[in-house]
Structure 1
Amino acid sequence: MSATTTGVPSWFTLRVPQSWFEFDVWRATRTGDLARLVDARIADVPQLRPQRPALLTLLREIAERAERQGAVYCAATAELVDGSDGLVASVMVFHTDGAPNAADNTVEAIAGQVTAVASTDRRSPWRTVTIVEMPVGRAVRVRGVERAEPDGVSIDSVVMQTLIPVPGDRGVLNVVLSSPHVDIADELFDLFDAVSDTLAWSRDRPDQLSVTNSSP
């Protein structure tokens, strides 16, 4: 996001748990930032050293996907545990100009543009659409299990989107959290709620993408 109008936000802040990696999307795909982040974490947690290659590969894949999709912010966690699936999750934030008519960028209008999907069985994708009250204002919250088929392989993911009109008619922000661990969807939605609700508006873009990096 960028803005020049006095008195309206030009950026946002978001807090993620301390175990997550925050990074600049552009730099993550062009410099050694991710390697330095991983090495710094290994210095604090030496037990992660054997997992360095897998951890770095996963973070690079997330960073590349964030760049392809046009994210303005990205953070991820990859808690790789021997003998288990561990925990993999990411948050990406997108900013769009929204509809030309400001009336189409209200939470009611946005909610009306998203289709809810009822689950036909326990394994099928589903989606709910609600309007929620957040510290930064009203927003549209979309929860569900989404299915993608990259290379013809079906992959289900827990996904939560929070669409928030930016004050001053400056478009719409979409905070998207996702994880492949559909077996713990309820617990993930609790975490995703907590992260999304830390969103705050800022008049100036911080030197780092997030002012703080503490557990929500």
Structure 2
Amino acid sequence: MSDVNEWGSPPKDYGLIVPDGWFKLRLEPELRDRGIIALADQQFRGVDNAPHVKERVMRDLQKQAKAAFRRGGIELYISTLTVGGVPLASSLLVSISPPDSWPRNAAVHQLAERLEAPGKDVTLVDLPVAGKAARERYREDPDPADQTGNTLPTTTVAFHIPIPATSNVLTLTFSTPIDPLAGQMVDLFDAVAETLHWI
């Protein structure tokens, strides 16, 4: 199953193992709002004196989820983990490439070539079960226009994996604003990506 070229027909789905404490948010419009409410209720459980903060968090999540859905996003995982009271902020966006966003039936090395840019580390990797992928890693300074309050650089790692027997690409985009722990978080992202498998 490691050689995606052995597939004669497209897989029905994909599977992924994520850490406990990562909340899965479906991005389809009919499911999105229910998930956002459930996540906000979970995060603000026992906190009754911050309704405005909760409302702002829900609005920001909705905006993020809508933008991700427009770009082909199907699921968004958000870390709710904390260590010593400090949130381990990170997320994973799973998306399927919109038509014509990549060359039709592109090979992995062609995906990697398209991703090359200054400041990006682009490599070819072999995911144990899902096959070959183009992996990119980059770091971005905070956007002054971003109203979420993040003042730290964001580290992003994305894996682009051709979906067997199709011309589409599945992309796993991990990101974290925890700059001092970026190395450890990237190790975690790599470990999650290695669990990807086709169903």
Q: What TM-score comes out, normalization by structure 2 length?
A: 0.74
Q: In the TM superposition, what are the counterparts of 1:33-182 in structure 2 within 5 Å?
A: 33-39=35-41, 41=42, 49-50=46-47, 53=54, 56=58, 59-60=61-62, 62-79=64-81, 84=86, 86-96=87-97, 97=99, 98-100=102-104, 102=105, 105-117=106-118, 126-134=119-127, 135-147=129-141, 149=143, 151=145, 156-182=153-179
Instruction: Note if 1:183 corresponds to 2:180.
Output: yes
CA distance in 2, matches of 1:83, 1:112: 41
Q: Name the residue aligned to 1:31.
A: 33
Aligned residue identity for 1:7: S
Q: Any unmatched runs of 5+ in structure 2? A: 1-6
Task: Assess, with a 3 A threshold, how the Cα gap between structure 1 residues 165 and 70 changes in structure 2: closer, same or farther.
Answer: closer
Percent same amino acid among aligned pairs? 27
Kept in 1: contact 2:22–2:81 (CA 8 A): no
Q: For each residue in 1:40-77, what CA deviation from the matched residue of structure 2 results, as whole angstroms up to 9, or x when unmatched?
A: x46xxxx9533882765664454344234331111111
Q: Any unmatched runs of 5+ in structure 1? A: 118-125, 203-216
- Cα RMSD, aligned residues only: 3.2
Kept in 2: contact 1:77–1:88 (CA 8 A): yes
CA distance in 2, matches of 1:30, 1:165: 26
Aligned pairs, how many? 181
Q: For each residue in 1:5-28, what CA deviation from the matched residue of structure 2 results, as whole angstroms up to 9, or x when unmatched?
A: 973213212221110100211258
Give the superposition deviation at 1:107: 0.9
CA distance in 2, matches of 1:99, 1:185: 32
Q: What TM-score comes out, normalization by structure 1 length?
A: 0.69
Task: Assess, with a 3 A threshold, how the Cα gap between structure 1 residues 191 and 68 changes in structure 2: closer, same or farther.
Answer: same
